[in-house]
A and B are shown apart, each in its own frame.
Chain A
Amino acid sequence: MLSSLLSIFIVSALFNNVIMAQFLGTCPFLGVSKSIETASGMGLAVIFVMVLANIITYFVQLLLIWAKVEYLQTLAFILVIAGLVQMVEIMLKKLSPGLYKSLGIYLPLITTNCAVLGIALLAIKKNYGLLESVVYSFATAFGFLVAIVLFAGIREQMKYSTIPRSMEGFPIALITTGIMALAFMGFAGFKLPF
């Protein structure tokens, strides 16, 4: 049981990294990665939202199965996630104004973050139980945090290097992402010892 949870964690945090291997959630990845501070804030917000969304969508899915309207899955999940993000935003505004300010427009953007919806749908597709799906979503969001913080570190360094004018800004950011994804591909083919 424990080893299977651990394997879920490692596989979804590193091997199947949400950004580097699945290319989900690229918008906040590029948008909020200008400094390590905001990047880690965004990563933590994604962990929070993703785990919460997965727990709730697990029960929403049960409700849908009970009512025999599984085809409403996508619609219902989007609704739930959007409402959830709104709530997180309201709470953050009160509880942590600093984080709220530094996340700025990107917090509402989590609403349309395809990673959150994608992971919720994938967890259902993989037939995960509640505990497994919580671990799965936490690991995926953790992978997002790792990727975005690494990327923000590189971008902070890039500020001081001379980049060809036509490459400044997003072009070089996208190329960097591609090279990072290549590095993450190195995990492919590993066999877990357990």
Chain B
Amino acid sequence: MTILGQLSLGLAMLFSLWGTVVGGMAGHTGRADLAKSASRSVIAQLAVLTIAAIALSVALVNRDFNVQYVYSYTSRDLPLVYTLAAFYGGQAGSLLFWAFVLSIFAAAAQWLTPPRYDRLMPYVSATTSAVVFFFVVAMLFSANPFDRLAFVPVDGNGLNPQLQNPGMAIHPPMLYLGYVSITIPFAFAVAALLSKQLDATWVHAIRKWTLLSWVFLSVGITLGMWWAYVELGWGGYWAWDPVENASFLPWLTMTAFLHSVMIQEKRGMLKKWNVVLVALSFLLSIFGTFITRSGIISSVHSFAQSNVGFVFLAFLIIASAFLVWLLWSRLPLLEPEGHLESMVSREASFLFNNLLFVGMAFAVLWGTLFPIISELVQGTQITVGPPFFNRVNTPIGLALLGLTGIGPLIAWRKASKKNLQRQFLIPTTLAALLGIALIVFRFGSFYAGVTLVLSVFVVAGILQEFYRGVGARHRLHGESYVLGLLRLFGRNRRRYGGYVVHLGIVTYFIGFVGLAFVNEVQTTLKPGDTATLKSPFGYEYTFTHMGVSNAKILNRYVSAASVRVTRDGEPAGIITSEKRQHFKCRVAVSPCPNGAEEFTFEPSTEAGIVGDIREDVYVVFAGVAEGTEDAVYRFTINPLVWWVWYGCVVLVIGGVIVMWPGGGPTRREGRRAVDGYGVRMIEEKPAMPA
């Protein structure tokens, strides 16, 4: 199938080039036939990239080791699920995955965009085609997944052991979906700039795309956290690793955009800012792929390193230069239509949140790039560690959490002192009460305390919003409270779904509070020896070492150490942690030249984790004393980790509510309501303006 794959890539290059050129011409001349041809080329790109993706999958599943990519990233004893995951485990495959996913989104944008945006579509075709073109060229000339070796190896190199984890099977595609789908809002922004149609049209067209990207990014990042937590074995889920940062950066700018775009829709303001945010998000998504793929900053994630990084760098520079020119030439058309009516309004709170998000993005970007900058300037790479990121981002994150609570309590347009008092009374009182209680009971961490106080403030504010919203519907429409709540969501999914997303964010923050109370001990235990550890919730855990067992399982040699755990003297189960050595070559499958078995010498850790909503007991088996069953353990109590995972679930539910089609009144109902309102107003006959 690799010949078909090669042919498909060649065709994808031609079709994407056609789409770029003809789409641009169609946008410029307004010719319908060119526009249709460009749109069809986008669908043709999907067709050929699907064939290429199938061709690579078939080569992987058939273990065609003559294909260099298959040889490099799979082996005979690699389980099927990871063999398929190897599709995006290496350089060339992940580029194909990027291009393939982009072609799906690009074709979906062509199909699903209503005809009222037809003016923008030729340029949208051109932009998505240009990005596909770049990825296909990168593949064909720098990292081709269908390249063949001059010989047929007996077995492959196998997949990086750390990638052989269920979390890793779904984390990269989810993150890629987020990265890639940003291209669609970006394409509409470019289309709006090129066509000079810079009213709110393009913003309306991308509303759901933006949210979809954001949800995918959020889920992808959280799955990455989960993978790091269960697989890397260092006990945490976020280490400000360059690749983690690279995924976080577009998330920050997209979150800022999700808020600021509402100001453009409602007030015709922040037009330049919104275009810049979408363009930045796209460039940062490419930057994220560049960081992962170039290995420019040493990172546990930089599994694949090659010269493709330079291709990315060139694309980033060209795309940035093009965008700067485009923006500069359209600046006069991006003047605001209105102005802020009051600095105490929801608009103003969104402005602050945007500044904070972008400030945070800048801090993260600076910290991520600092090793490169220092190497360029001083010749030595100075790594910026978690303390820098935590020191800078914790206060900004808390300010943002505070704004999450403040924004929903202030009305659009303006607010008066009296009303602010009424709105803020209950949330502030509850938060203050908690604050006092934390001080009285000498809560251990300042930042954790502030996080909890702000979380209570936000949740109280949101619940108050729901309570008052339901009350208003009950009074205005005579609806029951249950129906009122349902209609509250149904009629304004964006606002109330958004509040659910905010609840998800608060849930994450509560999870982060646990980081201040991590308790751990490292010790060597003989069989029967015990170690004890106190948890922040006051429990005392006792770990009794039971022994170490060794076995060959699937494609690896496993050393498993088990401990019997008691909590306050009550049995709490047995926890097993594993150290895995994956076979490089194995007698039964593909013997090494000397006929022996060899390992990859890349040991991976499977942490043993047992927990509940309060805390996780996290056991890492670090090694065994040679020739004995004496095991080196690290026992960690990680409080509130589940809240991070639950936060993601709540966030997705909120995102789905916002995206659910048909939010607001139905067209007919809405029309009738608006017409009725209009008629009533005319009957009222207020003085017409002179």
**Chains A and B belong together in one complex:** no
